[in-house]
Amino acid sequence: MKKQVLCFLLAAALTVSAGCGTGGGSTESGTAGKTTSGASEASSESGPQKYNDVKLKMLVCWNGGYKTPKDQYNNEVAKKIREKTGVTVTYEGIMMAENEKLNLLFASGDMPDMVNAPYWGGTDGCTQIIKKAAAQGRLLPIEKLAPQYPNLKNAYDVGIVSQSYLDNDLDDPNFKGHRYVLPQETPGDEADITNWAYGVFVRGDVPKALNVDPTSIKTSDQLYDFMVKARDHKFKDVNGNDCIVATTYHSGWDYGGYAQSFNAKQLTDYVKLPDGSYTYGVLTDNWINKNLFIWKLVNNNILDKECFKQTDSQADEKVGNGTALFASTQYGCVVNSTKLTGLYTSHPEMRYVPVGPLNYSDGSAAVQGETYGRSGSPVIFFPTSCANVGAALTYLDYVNSEEGARLVQYGIEGETYTMNDKNQPRLNADILKRKKAGDTAVDNELREKGIGYIFGRTFQANKSVTWWGEANPGDADAAVPDVEAYKKLKPVERMKGYPLSALAPTYKDYDAVTKFAFEGTKQDDYTQRAFFAKTESEAKSILKSYQDYLLTQQNGMFKDYLKYLTEQAKSRSDVVN
């Protein structure tokens, strides 16, 4: 999925001062003077403390809401955390675009104590909004604080985060030596890297009816032929309704998976040409051909025309009822959709199975390519309105300890889990049985106890596999076998080298290039216009006009930018595209 990037639209409206605001958590009496209202006080903290019933709020800035227990204060896990730290954090989600929420947040000044938000780095819109707020003094610096918390101090180690992410985003030069964000959802070791299991998946009865081995499909052209056969067979969904051939999840995520075999195995969107110079992938014929392939899917009644604007809830319904014969996304999303509707258990023959996986353009097997350490991540930041940054960091430090992480993931020993002979927590047999059967109600019941909702929005340098032998509770015993098998077919691979894109921000007019080439929705606007063009030649013309747009902005600045990157690539021996 191409991440949307939007500029800081409301910068002119930001008139709230950098001092302590009125939003955020409250503190009860007895906090021993730990309440923090600004950067100077923040620097005086000295690591984990035991607080006296401090209540804080975290905004989970991810579109789609955030499921929490009905009682976030009195559930079993919250009580245990409070016993250890004296701190309780309540979480609130959003139902709007992340960048829009961040803009509104900073414009209003009505801030929580902590915010968890996307920070993919580079020209990503949310990243730019957060960086702007930091530069304006609206976030608390934490470079002196984080090292004082034993379970947070390695958050910036290379290997947990990538060198390029550290250089350009976590330690942005405009921060002038300060650190304002705590990288989150990072791996503690190679075994702890999340395998997202992206791919194309087909309803299980389809290949059987068509006598096609889905694992034999290795190119996008082969996939197209398979989908044409499925279209012409006139399958019905579980309710007897006509089917959509192929769909995605929210906003077209991830229609690019259908065109996987147009992709090369690399870390960036730049392409090295035979003469040693670099160009931008969007300027190549391959980019044109890849998007014309999607045009062909749309115009041959294969790819769902609604998918570019639909929500995840709509996708859940289409996949969950078997209405979409193919889906391109993460395998876990597909399985979850079928469990939400009950299709997974009521019609096991319709369970979605992997196609391929599709190969790279050179015919090699696709992997989940990763830099050495995350090159973009969710982050947690602390607005200057944070009622008590020491309490916030104490809370985060505890839930990132082995004891605290086990508590928020598994609950209380003897009640919901026991330790096995390897001293690893394992959910009780009755819970595992329900998970294996696809009973989603068990997750709701555990959440009401406080289990399962905290970890995903607070962990950094995750060591679940290292500590417990499973990434998520139940994985070792109740993970979906098909998903686990697919992860082995498309494994995580750390790819060596310093990404060329990490050198781009040093270009003298990088901000100008960013505005016309990388920010906003212009590229999506052009490509989606092309997808809905009446003819292939019209679609090709629209795509070429976007290439022309890039090359003609600011008196041809993009050509100079690419020339600069080519020269910069010579400055390091480890540069890769």
- 40: domain CATH number? 3.40.190.10
Mean pLDDT check: name the lowest of 143-147, 193-197, 225-229, 563-567.
193-197
- The span from the CA of 33 to the CA of 125, in Å, is 37
Asked if residue 538 and residue 517 are part of one domain, the reply reads yes
Q: Looking at the domain assignment, is residue 17 inside a domain?
A: no
Choose the final residue of a domain: 454, 489, 524: 489
Provide mean pLDDT across the span 198-215: 98
* Bridging pattern class, strands 114-119 and 87-94: unpaired
- Three-state DSSP at 247 gives strand
Residue 505's pLDDT is what? 87
Q: Looking at the domain assignment, is residue 474 inside a domain?
A: no
DSSP state of 113: S
Non-local (6+) Cβ contacts of 294 within 8 A are 255, 258, 259, 303, 527, 531
Q: Looking at the domain assignment, is residue 512 inside a domain?
A: yes
Q: Looking at the domain assignment, is residue 215 inside a domain?
A: yes
Residue 46's pLDDT is what? 73
Position 43 pLDDT exceeds 70: no
Q: Looking at the domain assignment, is residue 287 inside a domain?
A: yes
Q: What are the angstrom distances between the C-alpha of 312 and each of 63, 65, 70, 253, 316?
A: 10, 11, 23, 9, 6
Give me the half-sphere count of Cα atoms (radius 13 Å) on the Cβ side of residue 502. 24
Mean pLDDT check: name the lowest of 4-8, 357-361, 387-391, 484-488.
4-8
Q: What is the dihedral of CA 44, 50, 51, 55, to 10 degrees?
A: 100
Provide mean pLDDT across the span 60-70: 94
Provide mean pLDDT across the span 395-399: 98
Residue 45's pLDDT is what? 53
Residue 44's pLDDT is what? 44
Asked if residue 81 and residue 122 are part of one domain, the reply reads yes
Q: Looking at the domain assignment, is residue 521 inside a domain?
A: yes
Asked if residue 66 and residue 171 are part of one domain, the reply reads yes
Residue 41's pLDDT is what? 38
| Residue-wise pLDDT tens digits, 507-526 | 999 989 999 999 889 999 99
- Burial of 171 from C-beta contacts in 10 A (0-12 / 13-18 / 19+): middle
Do 132 and 125 touch, CB atoms closer than 8 A? no
Provide mean pLDDT across the span 279-284: 98
Position 562 confidence tier, pLDDT thresholds 50, 70, 90: very high
Residue 155's pLDDT is what? 95
Asked if residue 485 and residue 504 are part of one domain, the reply reads no
Asked if residue 97 and residue 171 are part of one domain, the reply reads yes
- Burial of 433 from C-beta contacts in 10 A (0-12 / 13-18 / 19+): middle
Give me the half-sphere count of Cα atoms (radius 13 Å) on the Cβ side of residue 219. 8
Choose the final residue of a domain: 489, 506, 538: 489
Q: What does the block give as tokens for 116?
A: 């968890």
Residue 24's pLDDT is what? 33
Task: Calculate what percentage of the chain has a pLDDT beyond 90.
Answer: 83
- How high does pLDDT run on average in the chain? 90
Asked if residue 162 and residue 63 are part of one domain, the reply reads yes
The reported pTM is 0.76
Asked if residue 348 and residue 393 are part of one domain, the reply reads no
Position 64 confidence tier, pLDDT thresholds 50, 70, 90: confident
Position 211 pLDDT exceeds 70: yes
Residue 61, domain extent: 22-186+377-464
Non-local (6+) Cβ contacts of 246 within 8 A are 227, 258, 297, 302, 303, 304, 324, 325, 326, 327, 328
Residue 477's pLDDT is what? 87
Asked if residue 173 and residue 101 are part of one domain, the reply reads yes
Q: What are the angstrom distances between the C-alpha of 136 and each of 11, 108, 174, 253, 381?
A: 10, 15, 10, 33, 14
Choose the final residue of a domain: 443, 472, 489: 489
Give me the half-sphere count of Cα atoms (radius 13 Å) on the Cβ side of residue 370. 25
Residue 297's pLDDT is what? 98
Provide mean pLDDT across the span 359-370: 95
Overall number of domains in the chain: 3
Q: Looking at the domain assignment, is residue 11 inside a domain?
A: no
Q: Looking at the domain assignment, is residue 15 inside a domain?
A: no
Position 205 pLDDT exceeds 70: yes
Q: Please provide residue 350's backbone torsions phi and psi, each rounded to the nearest 5 degrees.
A: -95, 0
Non-local (6+) Cβ contacts of 482 within 8 A are 331, 335, 351, 353, 354
Asked if residue 301 and residue 213 are part of one domain, the reply reads yes
Rg (CA), the chain: 24
Asked if residue 38 and residue 106 are part of one domain, the reply reads yes
Residue 122's pLDDT is what? 84
Asked if residue 234 and residue 108 are part of one domain, the reply reads no
Residue 470's pLDDT is what? 92
Asked if residue 529 and residue 507 are part of one domain, the reply reads yes
* Bridging pattern class, strands 417-419 and 575-576: unpaired
Residue 35's pLDDT is what? 35
More confident residue, 547 or 47: 547
| Residue-wise pLDDT tens digits, 25-40 | 333 333 333 333 333 3
DSSP state of 365: P
Non-local (6+) Cβ contacts of 502 within 8 A are 163, 164, 167, 168
User: Letter for the amino acid at 513?
Assistant: V
Q: Going along 154-233, which residue ranges are E strands? A: 181-183, 198-203
- The span from the CA of 484 to the CA of 371, in Å, is 22
